[in-house]
Structure 1
């Protein structure tokens, strides 16, 4: 039983499925193909598989980290144990800013999609305020509310998004994938690094782990979702490569949405508009989870009530949205977040893993003396 969180706030192990999904799949699924293909071309599907395998390893490390510490702790408490209170709080605050930045980028990216595809002349500030209000309503309801919204976002993907992508298959050209291996290992690894950006967000597990009832039982579901998301990205990128030539892909900003333009339904002639609308649930849940993690961190560091820090974060969203109108700055911010995420996942988490395993072995050796 989890001792740090009241049982009424806990979720069953299975519900890590929608949480892992919404944290790893964002607006980037609409345009990641072009970026990933920059280095490895149409061999970039190999990079998707490699990135997915590495995420499996990191998720395994996260579970080992928690099992090596007292039950009921999250990463903020573990940082205090490993680095001391002062250094631990500095690291914890950096983690808070990291999740805030990730949430803001997802927030801004979705607004950009709406502006480009649905309503080019719409005023952004009222739309941003409305989305911020929805996010506030979700997170203020607590972690279980965030989980419920994540479940709805996950269902929308299963029911609509995946079938919409598969409907493009009759127009695909498999020969676009040939030759199969014509890029170096270095190119494929560089593409894998680009692909990592799409998976960023799953590390919120470091903060919501104590909210899982019998958390050890959730590990299999976490790995199942990493596998599912990897295959989903693999499906989307292979369909994209078979639909567009490399020359065409270099000129297209939103490949997934451009593919959906060819599909027509009995009611909606522009299926991509429906996809963008349905994506609202999934995107709001992903943003809410990241901001919830930031608020949880602020509570652990400064004892600030989550609703207060949440309101401050959302006001920060609106200020950034109003003041940063240069898309080049947003692109730079996204690349910065991607770089920080790379070192967070492949640097910080392995370091914590090693420290906790050494401490566990040391304590076990002392107990046998």
Structure 2
């Protein structure tokens, strides 16, 4: 499917969209999850996860460089035939639809818990779907501009996290690797969970104005994600004790409850209200990619209708079933394994297949 000039995105827009997919609602519980697996050495697991993610992302970029004017679906159709592309479209559609659904549901549950306790989660999802539809139908370029605006208005959030450091205890981080490397290794798969989302490169790559900067852009994007997760995780580690941090579902929110100003009493409420914009970067690009996949499968130019379909599907599905926190955690365990398979393992085999195919075809032509 050809890419029009009006749909081109800048490297900055790509960086912010990809990082937005990664730094979504999942980061609120990340310090607790890493503490349960690796103790206060969870930040080391994050660094290892970042290195693995950068390597996997560069593999994805190298794959897309083989077919720069098309998405993964076009590439697989070129190398494996029509059904290979269609199979990839369906798998990517299902994967990212659940990705967006999970972000949306968790956002609704957190909003209900902290902001609107008297409002049903279903009604919150309906309210969130209205701006989602407006932005998603506008195309990838508008989504990129939306990501820029969200980033700009959210720059104050890291500054708020500096305030709890006045009551921090840096000795909580010591000794480093005190229990050995086995707990750190156990935390690495969970650190990979917070980097899931770079699979968007398979679709966004042909939209980049300057494809020579793709490797740099994906590395910067993953590095921004690392800085965000690492900063919040360390703040929680040095404020809460190693045992206390495991008592909170979202320690990234609880750590803000100690902050008080004369003109505002509960800073965490304002934080969540503003962070809803950042949360939206988790499901809006995901739904757009889902619409792109169905549009590609039907060979049409009606992405708006497909976005409308997915929004209605989410609204109807949420009416009948919304998982609670415990059910959501069990589902996330499955999603973690699936995400590692799709975003980390399959690209390696795909690169090997393409390399062997190109080498064999070159020899055959000779």
Indicate whether the TM-score tops 0.5. yes
Alpha-carbon separation, structure 2, partners of 1:326 and 1:16:
32
Alpha-carbon separation, structure 1, partners of 2:218 and 2:83:
32
C-alpha spacing 1:326/1:217, structure 2 compared with 1 (3 Å) = closer
Matches within 5 A, 1:57-72: 57-69=55-67, 71-72=68-69
1:336 aligns with 2:334: yes
Given that 1:96 and 1:294 are in contact with CA atoms closer than 8 Å, whether structure 2 keeps it comes out as yes
Deviation at 1:48, TM superposition (A): 0.2
1:122 aligns with 2:136: no
Which of 104, 107, 117 aligns to 1:107? It is 104
Matches within 5 A, 1:2-81: 4-69=2-67, 71-81=68-78
Alpha-carbon separation, structure 2, partners of 1:211 and 1:265:
45
What 5-or-longer segments of structure 2 have no aligned partner?
none
Q: TM-score, normalised by structure 1?
A: 0.93
1:265 aligns with 2:257: no
Deviation at 1:365, TM superposition (A): 4.1
What 5-or-longer segments of structure 1 have no aligned partner?
none
Match of 2:315 in 1: 318
Match of 1:287 in 2: 283
Task: Give the count of matched residue pairs.
Answer: 364
Match of 1:276 in 2: 272
List per-residue Cα deviations over 1:321-362 (Å, max 9, x = no partner): 222244143333222222110111222111112122223333
Deviation at 1:134, TM superposition (A): 0.9
Q: TM-score, normalised by structure 2?
A: 0.94
List per-residue Cα deviations over 1:219-278 (Å, max 9, x = no partner): 212211211221221111111111111211111111011111111234322111111111
Match of 2:132 in 1: 135
List per-residue Cα deviations over 1:274-324 (Å, max 9, x = no partner): 111111222223211011111111111223522222122112212232222
Alpha-carbon separation, structure 2, partners of 1:6 and 1:309:
19
C-alpha spacing 1:363/1:267, structure 2 compared with 1 (3 Å) = farther
Given that 2:132 and 2:284 are in contact with CA atoms closer than 8 Å, whether structure 1 keeps it comes out as yes
Matches within 5 A, 1:197-276: 197-276=193-272
Deviation at 1:9, TM superposition (A): 1.3
List per-residue Cα deviations over 1:42-82 (Å, max 9, x = no partner): 1111100000001110111111101122x311011122233
